[in-house]
Amino acid sequence: MGVLLNLPYNEMVQMNRNKVLLIGVDQSIPYLLDKFVDEGLLPNIKNLIESGVYAEGLSCVPCDTPTNWTTIATGATTSVHGATSFYTHIPGEELDYGATQRSRSQLKKFTTAEYIWETADRHQIPSFIINYPAGWLANLKFGIMSAFSWPIPTILPPIIRSQKTLIFSTNSKKKKLIIRNNTFTLHISNNTAIKFEIKQKKSLHYGYSNHKFTMQQGQWSEWFNSFSQYRGRDLPVIFRFYLREIAQDGSKVELIISPLYNTHGWTSSTDFAEKLLKNIKFPEENPTKSNVGYTFEGKMTEVLEFARKETQAIANAIYFARKQLKWELCYFHVHHLDTINHNTLGHLHPEYPQYDEKTAEMAINHVQTAYSIVDDMVGILIDSVVDENTTVVYISDHGAIPCWRIANIVKPLVEAGLMAYRKNGNYYQIDWTKSQVFPYCEPTYIWINLKGRDPQGIVDQKDYESIRDHVIDVLQDIKDPENNNPIIDLVMRKEDHPELHQNGKRIGDVVYFLNPPYNIFDDDLAVMNAARTNLIDKPLCYNSDHIFGAHAYYLPTKRFGPFSNSVPIIFKGPSVEHGLKLEGLTELIHIAPTLSSILNIPPPAQSQGSILKFF
C-alpha cells in the first residue's frame, strides 16, 4: 500500500451527493485478472468484485487506446466520435498525412462527440480528469484536466530539468561551484541565482525576492518561483533544494536541487498545477518512450518501479483534488499493464516456437507484480476518496493477444499492382500516380485513392467497388510462407458488419483484422507510414524482436488460448447489486450513459449506449 497524504478531510463534504470514480487500467485482461484474484494476490480488486457487479466488456473497433477511452467517456462508437486508434485520417487531407500525426486522436478538437465531463460541467458538477488519453483539452468551468505523466500532443512537460546534486567546495575546479569567503551562488537559470552564506552550526543563510532564510543540514527549503527556457520560450517553474551536507569548517556544501517543475501547459489550471506539485511527489525518470507509450529502454524492473511511483502519485493527486476541487466525477487511467503485456505475452503462450519455462516464469512474475501495483493503487483510492455515495468503476479499454510474427501488409498490395514505389536512398517513396490504395496499420484500414475525395486521387468513382473487391481478394489470400497459415482473420467493406460500428467518414474503405500470432508493429514507428517505407525489401512474414502482445489488429471478440481482446468491467456502489456476474459481453458504449444516470445528468450528446440495469 502507498502512503496517503496528510491533508485535512471534511467528512461532511457533499456526503449526500452521488459521485463516480472511474479507475481506468489500460490492457487489463480478464484471464490474468481472474487468475490473480483467485490466487489471493489482488485483495482490493477481489473486494470490488465480491461486493459489486462483474462483466466482460467488448471494445469498439479498433481495439486500441485512444479509441476506447474516448468511447468510455462519450458513449459513442468509433464511427461517431472519430478517434480511430493512434492515427486518424480525416477525409480531404492527403492520405498519408494522418500517418504522420501520431496520437492527435487524443485531442478534443479532433474528435466529434461530447465527453461526460463536459455534460457534467454544464450541470455544475465538478470533475477531475487526470492522466487520461482522450478529450484533451476540455473547457471546464467547474472541473480540471491534467495530462499528468501521460504523453499527449501539444502538452508541455511537467518537469523541465531533472533533480540533481551539486557539491560546492573551496577547491572546486568549476567556477560555479567554488566557495569563497564562506559564500557561493546557486544558478538555477539565466534569470535566477541564489547567493548563500555559510554560518556556524552547519547552517546556510540566503536571500531571495527580498526575503531572508536560514536552513539547517537535513532540511528542505521553501518553494521558489522562477522561469526557465524550454524550446525557445520562458515557462513558469517552481523548485526547492535540500541541504544534504555541510562541512564543519565550511569547506564543502552538498545541495540536492529538486526538478524544475513547470506549472503551465499540462493542467488546465496553472494555479492548481503549482499546488499539486507542492503536495505530491511527481514521478521522475519514466523509462517508457513517450512517442509510443509502451516500449522502453532498460530493464522491466525499472518499468515496474516507475509504475509503482506513478500510480501512488496519481492516487495522491486524486486525493488532493478531492479536497481542493471537491470533484463528483473523476476519470483517470494508468498504462503500465499495457507496457508489460506488449513485451511479455508471447512468452506465456505454449505455442510460441521459442517458449521456455524459465522465461515464462519470469514473465508471469513481472505481470503479477504489475497487477499488484494496480491493486495497491485501488486500495489507496478506496481508503481515501470513496464514501458510501461513491460508485467505483474498474475498467479497461481493450485486452491483448500473444503474438510473435510480423505481417508485412504493404508487400502483397504492391505485388498485386495496387501500390507503386520509387527508390529514394534507403527507403521507398510511394508513387501516388500509380497507387490505387493506401494502407494504415493503426487503425487497420485501407483507403482507396479516390478522385474527388483524396488530393492524390486516381481511382474513378465507377471503379471504387471493383478496387475494394480486389483489395479484399488480395488480403484474404495471403498466407505465411513458413507454415501456410492464413494471416487475415476478416477483411470487409466498412459497411459490411454493422455490429462493428465501422461505417463512418473516418473509417477506411476496407477494414481488416489479423489472426494471432500475427502483429504489424515491432517497435519501429517507420512502418506506420506506408508513404515512405523500407517494407518493400522485407519478407511477407518475419519473427518479432520486441513486441509479443497486441490488440489493435484483432477483432474485439478474438481469443487466443486463455487470452482475449475483451476487458473486465467492475461496478461497486450504493445501489449496485453484490456478487453479480453479467452474462455475455457488455459494450463499452454503455458506460458513459450509465455513469450519467448515477450522477443524475443526461448522457453525453452523441452517446449511443444504454443504461446498464444492475441497480
- By the 8 A CB rule, do 101 and 148 touch? no
Q: Does 445 share its domain with 498? A: yes
Mean pLDDT of 127-153: 97
- By the 8 A CB rule, do 432 and 594 touch? no
492 inside domain: yes
Closest among 38, 113, 52, 86 to 573, alpha carbons compared: 52
Who wins on pLDDT, 575 or 164? 164
pLDDT of res. 290 = 80
Q: Does 190 share its domain with 240? A: yes
Note the pLDDT tens digit of each residue in 452-475: 999 999 999 999 999 999 999 999
Least confident of 73-87, 200-214, 223-237, 564-578: 200-214
- By the 8 A CB rule, do 228 and 261 touch? no
DSSP 8-state code for residue 392: E
Q: How many CA atoms lie within 13 A of 552 on its CB side?
A: 24
In the beta sheet, which residues pair with residue 207? 212
Who wins on pLDDT, 598 or 289? 598
Among the residues of 54-167, which ranges form H helices? 65-74, 78-81, 116-122
10 inside domain: no
Q: How far apart are CA 148 and CA 457, in angstroms?
A: 41
Note the pLDDT tens digit of each residue in 232-250: 999 999 999 999 999 989 9
Q: Is the pLDDT of residue 4 over 70?
A: no
301 inside domain: yes
Q: Does 186 share its domain with 250? A: yes
pLDDT of res. 16 = 62
Who wins on pLDDT, 347 or 192? 347
340 inside domain: yes
Mean pLDDT of 411-422: 98
Q: Does 446 share its domain with 491? A: yes
Q: Is the pLDDT of residue 10 over 60?
A: no
Mean pLDDT, the chain, whole residue set: 95
Q: Is the pLDDT of residue 6 over 50?
A: no
- By the 8 A CB rule, do 352 and 517 touch? yes
pLDDT of res. 7 = 39
pLDDT of res. 210 = 81
Q: Does 28 share its domain with 129? A: yes
Q: Does 229 share its domain with 314? A: no
Note the pLDDT tens digit of each residue in 505-522: 999 999 999 999 999 999
Q: How far apart are CA 373 and CA 510, in angstroms?
A: 40
Q: Does 299 share its domain with 384? A: yes
Q: What CATH number corresponds to the domain at position 374?
A: 3.40.720.10
- CA dist 493 → 84, 155, 330, 447, 464 (Å): 16, 37, 38, 11, 11
Question: Which percentage of the chain shows pLDDT scores above 70?
Answer: 97
Mean pLDDT of 382-398: 98
| Domain that residue 474 falls in | 405-546
Buried b (16+ CB within 10 A) or exposed e, 161-185: beeeebebbbeeeeeebebeeeebe
Q: Is the pLDDT of residue 42 over 50?
A: yes
208 pLDDT tier (thresholds 50, 70, 90): confident
Q: How far apart are CA 225 and CA 108, in angstroms?
A: 31
Q: Is the pLDDT of residue 225 over 50?
A: yes
Cα 41 to the chain's mean position, in Å?
25
Q: Does 448 share its domain with 541? A: yes
Q: Does 514 share its domain with 541? A: yes
Mean pLDDT of 128-137: 98
pLDDT of res. 3 = 39
Determine the straight-line distance between the first and last CA of the chain, rounded to whole angstroms: 31
- By the 8 A CB rule, do 332 and 314 touch? yes
13 pLDDT tier (thresholds 50, 70, 90): very low
Grid coordinates belonging to 256: 540536492
Grid coordinates belonging to 508: 477506411
615 inside domain: no
Domain count, the chain: 3
Does an H or E element contain 586, and which? strand 580-587
216 inside domain: yes
Q: Is the pLDDT of residue 8 over 70?
A: no
pLDDT of res. 279 = 97
Closest among 95, 105, 107, 134 to 440, alpha carbons compared: 95
pTM of the full structure? 0.95
pLDDT of res. 1 = 34
Note the pLDDT tens digit of each residue in 253-297: 999 999 999 999 999 999 999 999 999 999 998 999 888 888 888
Note the pLDDT tens digit of each residue in 575-587: 899 999 999 999 9
- By the 8 A CB rule, do 438 and 98 touch? no
Q: Does 486 share its domain with 391? A: no
In the beta sheet, which residues pair with residue 184? 196
Q: At what angle do helices 357-385 and 43-50 cross, to 10 degrees?
A: 60
86 inside domain: no
Q: How far apart are CA 48 and CA 148, in angstroms?
A: 26
Domain end residue (candidates: 483, 515, 546): 546
Grid coordinates belonging to 378: 485501488
DSSP 8-state code for residue 93: B
pLDDT of res. 2 = 38
Task: Give CA angle at 79 (95, 31), nearest 5°.
Answer: 105
Q: Does 117 share its domain with 234? A: no
Grid coordinates belonging to 355: 517458449
537 inside domain: yes
In the beta sheet, which residues pair with residue 220? 242
Q: Does 68 share its domain with 121? A: yes
Residue type, 126: P
Torsion of CA 45, 610, 135, 329, to 10 degrees: -50
